[in-house]
Structure 1
Amino acid sequence: MSIFLETNRLTLRRFTEADEDNLLELDSDPEVMRFLNGGKPTPREEIRGQILRFLDYYERFEGLGFWAVQEKVTGRFLGWFHFRPRKTGPRDGEIELGYRLRRSAWGKGYATEGSRALIRKGFIELGVERVVAETMAVNLGSRRVMEKAGLTLARTFHRDGLDAVEGSEHGVVEYALTKADWEHELRGIR
């Protein structure tokens, strides 16, 4: 197991092909997929393709990509985080943060803990200048995680292709945090 990052309660590691069943189970939960595609499960063939894309990130972008997250004490698969160049096109120093966790892991602070650790690693070790994250405006749980991780609302916009998802008429929100703002917050806490 190639460990990428550890927190008090979590281990973030590289994905392997052996994670296929973990991802299939995660993406089969309608509540997990609710704000992504309206709750439809991801077919196994797509999961296999996702794993290959995840593995490709490790080769193309050092320190960036998709990371399986496990509970440190039990080793139980909880879901994943991504910390990668934006899908909408790379911008120098700007990285997109994302996460997808099992419903049983919700409300325990895991998403915030992992997000904060990735942001810290990005700013300190990876040369990141700005972190962004997006979710549907109505996804209040994900928005709270972004806020607890230090990101602030940057904009609201509409994206094509979300028509089938309940609440899509309210749009998508983008949250952001710059390295300068993060450093300022750190100095204020000390």
Structure 2
Amino acid sequence: MKVFLETPRLFLRNFTEEDASNLYELDSDPDVLRFVNLGVIKGGTAIGIDYETIKNKTLPTWLCYYEEYENYGIWAAVEKTSGEFIGWFHFRPASENLFYFNLGFYDASDIELGYRLKKAKWHQGYATEGALALIHKGFANRETQQVVSMALADRIASIRVMEKVCLKFVAKYFHPEITQEVVKYALNRNEFHTNTSLSC
């Protein structure tokens, strides 16, 4: 297990090819997908990615991050006490998110923060814990100038996580493909260094 980052309760480790089943299980939960995958919502139902796509396309793409970037990527979140895979976090160039980048919601210099966790692990502070650790590590890297994140405007829990790690509201956008609003939050390097404790 190659650990990128450790928090009090989590290991954020590199993904491996053996994680296909973990990702498939995560993306097979309709409650998890209800607030994500904006481009694959059909008939009001979130549609997960099939196992073969995860194994042959998603994972290989994510594994390439480790070769291309030293400080950016997508990592599996493992609960220390149980050793269980509970989801993932990403901290990557925002241009890698073509959906939002091509719509003009992100700038090329932005670094995108995001996560996806199993429903059983919601409301336990894991999202905040992982996100906060990535922000601190991210701004220790001089290349990181601004961290950004997006969420559906009615996803109160996700917005609260962004606020807890001191990201500030930037803008609200309407996306006609899903007839829902999304919000953008951000934290730049200067704001981080004037509030290094990140106690909001």
Q: How does 1:94-173 map to 2 (within 5 A)?
A: 94-125=110-141, 127-163=143-179, 168=180, 171-173=181-183
Q: CA deviation at 1:188?
A: 8.5
**Backbone CA RMSD of aligned residues:** 1.7
- Give the letter for the 1:21 counterpart: S
Deviation string 1:30-59 (CA, Å, 9 cap, x unpaired) is 010001234322211221111111101111
Unaligned runs of 5+ in 2: none
For residues 82 and 187 of structure 1, do their structure 2 counterparts lie closer, same or farther at Cα, with a shift above 3 Å needed?
Answer: closer
Tell me the residue number matched to 2:187: 177
* Residues in 2 aligned to 1:110 and 1:91: alpha-carbon distance in whole angstroms: 28
Partner of 1:52: 60
Percent sequence identity over aligned pairs: 44
- Equivalent residue number for residue 4 of structure 1: 4
Q: Secondary structure at the match of 2:108?
A: coil
Superposition misfits of 4+ residues, deviation over 3 angstroms: none
SS at match of 2:150: strand
In 2, are the aligned partners of 1:32 and 1:102 still within 8 Å (CA)? yes
**Aligned residue for 2:196?**
186
Partner of residue 74, structure 1: 82
Q: Spell out, residue by residue over 1:137-172, the C-alpha distance to the aligned partner (whole angstroms, 9 max, x if none).
A: 011111111111110110001235324xxxx1xx11
Distance 1:73 1:183, change over 3 A: same
The answer to which of 2-11 and 33-42 deviates more is 33-42
Rounded Cα–Cα distance in structure 2 between residues aligned with 1:160 and 1:14: 35
Equivalent residue letter for 1:179: R
Distance in 2, matches of 1:97 and 1:122, equals 10
> Aligned pairs, how many?
182
Q: Following TM superposition, by how much is the alpha carbon of 1:127 offset from its aligned partner in structure 2, in angstroms?
A: 2.6
Shift of the 185–73 alpha-carbon distance from structure 1 to 2, 3 Å rule, reads: same
TM-score, reference length from structure 1: 0.90
* Contact kept in structure 1, 2:152 and 2:182, CA below 8 Å: yes
Stretches of structure 1 lacking an aligned partner (at least 5 in a row) = none
Work out whether residues 20 and 51 of structure 1, in 8 Å CA contact, stay in contact via their aligned partners in 2. Answer: yes
For residue 124 of structure 2, give the secondary structure of its aligned residue in structure 1: coil
Q: How far apart are 1:126 and its partner, in Å?
A: 5.3
Give TM-score scaled by structure 2 length.
Answer: 0.85
**1:20 aligned to 2:20?**
yes
Q: Which amino acid aligns with 1:14?
A: N
